[in-house]
Amino acid sequence: GAAADEHLFPIGGVDVRWRMEDCGKRIILDFFSDGELLSWRWDELEVVPGLGAVPDLLWGVGHVGPLTFTYSLERVPVIFKPPVLDTEPCSKMHDAGPEEAAMLDLEERLRNCSVPKVDPEEKGPFLMRWLRSTSFDVEAAEAGIRRHVEWWKEYGMDDFRDEDEFDEQGPLFVCGEDLQGYPTLIARPCVHFAKDEEESMQAARRCVFTLQRCIERMPRGAEKFTLIYDVANVTLTNLDMTFSRALIDILNNHFVGRLGSIVVVNMNWMIWSLQAILKPLLGSSTDDAIVFCGSDFKATFLDMVPEDHPYLCYALAVQSLPAEEAAALPLPKASPYVTQRQEPVTKQRSGGASPTRSAPSPSALHRVGALVSKWPCCACDRLGLVHSYFG
């Protein structure tokens, strides 16, 4: 364990200090950056009375300039979670245990319910994801799936067009693969600006379709994707709670069990103080899967993606350049839409493995070659970066 004199803060130059008010009934968390009090950022925690010396529940209100958000901190006992099962088609299960019996019961309840975008061979894993999400409460899983079927129709998921999927210029796009060969999603909130609620909801709709297209790129048997959330250049003008809540509500309620690891990179002093917003929105099921990084993200990346991942190469190149040149650096291209759902999961990528890519055109290679010839050496060699951008 950590030594007694080691402290969690400061992180990224941000320090948090607490003080008591109202005779110990309220705790105030003050945020400091490089020793200076941030007057626009503080939290209030109210102790909910209970037995014992350690409070069972704290209600929190976070203040970020003119914005506020609420959260709670609860002391809970450890709850046993059922083991993850290797599911077989339900018709082949014999001598069912409790989890298998729940699967058979759920399948019977939904016998006449047609679930969109789920073919017969994928039905078992689909049902198991919903059962896990409800701690094997069959009635809750059934209700959730039926709500999902109605939502799919009402939201118009079958009415999207190919061009509704975001490319690399949007706030969310598919780019590259993780170490298992599954597609990765890249989020860049710095490019999201909405003038009104209608624009916020339209952007959320396109993100939902982009998410669905990411899933359709996954090989058969794959369940979860990795999300790389790059907060470089994010300001308060990019923080759109209407957009965020709409998107995350759909992610939690209709893409159950699909979100794997989340890597938040390029955290700065302002975003460090805002990270409390992200975790409550995503729900407790992802708490262990979120990793927050500053500019030292390379090692965390390499735990999840190969070293030639296009966005890793791009992010490292941006770090190595002056701001003006970094701003002119082209983003890696969004991955083409090629459904792999008919293919079984058979590959495991190593850090040095490289997928087959088409060669860049001579004119494109010349343009980018002229730019990268001035770059200092970094973890990704110049030729590798050019190769990644035009893959």
Question: Smallest Cα–Cα separation from 360: which of 330, 331, 317, 389?
Answer: 389
Beta-strand pair 259-265/225-230: parallel
**What gap in Å lies between CA 101 and CA 203, rounded to an integer?**
41
How would residue 62 be classed by pLDDT, with cut points 50, 70 and 90? confident
Neighbours of 94 (CB within 10 A): 6
The answer for residues whose C-beta is within 8 angstroms of residue 327's C-beta and 6 or more apart is none
Per the CB < 8 A criterion, the answer to whether 192 and 201 are in contact is: no
**What gap in Å lies between CA 281 and CA 262, rounded to an integer?**
13
Q: Is 359 exposed, middle or buried (0-12, 13-18, 19+ CB in 10 A)?
A: exposed
How would residue 385 be classed by pLDDT, with cut points 50, 70 and 90? very low
- Which amino acid belongs to residue 25? K
Per-residue pLDDT at 34: 80
Sign of the CA dihedral 142, 148, 149, 154?
Answer: positive
Phi and psi torsions of 31, nearest 5°: -110, 135
**Range from 98-102, 215-219, 384-388 carrying the lowest mean pLDDT:** 384-388
Per-residue pLDDT at 41: 85
- Give how far Cα 54 sits from Cα of 26, 75, 168, Å: 14, 9, 48
**Range from 14-28, 207-221, 297-311, 332-346 carrying the lowest mean pLDDT:** 332-346
Q: Is 369 a residue whose pLDDT tops 90?
A: no
Mean pLDDT to the nearest integer, 117-130 = 88
The answer for residues whose C-beta is within 8 angstroms of residue 7's C-beta and 6 or more apart is none
Mean pLDDT to the nearest integer, 28-49 = 82
Backbone conformation region of residue 156, classed left if phi is above 0, alpha if psi is from -120 to 50, else beta:
left
Q: Is 198 a residue whose pLDDT tops 90?
A: yes
Backbone conformation region of residue 12, classed left if phi is above 0, alpha if psi is from -120 to 50, else beta:
left
Q: Is 31 a residue whose pLDDT tops 70?
A: yes
pLDDT top residue among 306 and 121 = 306
**Range from 45-59, 117-131, 172-186, 289-303 carrying the lowest mean pLDDT:** 45-59
Q: Is 15 a residue whose pLDDT tops 70?
A: yes
Phi and psi torsions of 53, nearest 5°: -75, -30
Q: Tokens representing 248?
A: 């995350």
pLDDT top residue among 214 and 5 = 214
pLDDT top residue among 160 and 369 = 160
pLDDT top residue among 4 and 65 = 65
Per the CB < 8 A criterion, the answer to whether 301 and 184 are in contact is: no
Query: Across the beta sheet with 172-177, what order do the strands follow?
Result: 172-177, 183-187, 225-230, 259-265, 290-292
Q: pLDDT over 70 for what percent of the chain?
A: 69
Q: Is 84 a residue whose pLDDT tops 90?
A: no
How would residue 372 be classed by pLDDT, with cut points 50, 70 and 90? very low
pLDDT top residue among 184 and 363 = 184
Q: Is 45 a residue whose pLDDT tops 60?
A: yes
Neighbours of 144 (CB within 10 A): 18
Query: What SS3 string covers the chain?
Result: CCCCCCCCCCECCEEEEEEEECCCCEEEEEEEECCEEEEEEEEEEEEECCCCCCCCEEEEEEEECCEEEEEEEECCCCCCCCCCCCCCCHHHCCCCCHHHHHHHHHHHHCCCCCCCCCCHHHHHHHHHHHHHHCCCCHHHHHHHHHHHHHHHHHHCCCCCCHHHCCCCCCCEEEEEECCCCCEEEEECHHHCCCCCHHHHHHHHHHHHHHHHHHHHCCCECCCCEEEEEECCCCCHHHCCHHHHHHHHHHHHHHCCCCEEEEEEECCCHHHHCCHHHHHHHHCHHHHHHEEECCCCCHHHHHCCCCCCCHHHHHHHHHHHCCHHHHHHCCCCCCCCCCCCCCCECCCCCCCCCCCCCCCCCHHHHHHHHHHHCCCCCCCCCHHHHHHHHCC
Q: Tokens representing 72?
A: 């709670």
- Which amino acid belongs to residue 24? G
Mean pLDDT to the nearest integer, 18-29 = 78
Q: Is 315 a residue whose pLDDT tops 50?
A: yes
pLDDT top residue among 95 and 31 = 31
The model's pTM is 0.63
Per the prediction, the chain carries an average pLDDT of: 77
Q: pLDDT over 90 for what percent of the chain?
A: 39
pLDDT, tens only, 133-158: 999 999 999 999 999 999 999 999 99
How would residue 170 be classed by pLDDT, with cut points 50, 70 and 90? very high
Per-residue pLDDT at 206: 97
pLDDT, tens only, 332-359: 999 999 886 544 444 455 544 433 333 3
- Give how far Cα 150 sits from Cα of 96, 119, 142, 338, Å: 31, 18, 13, 27
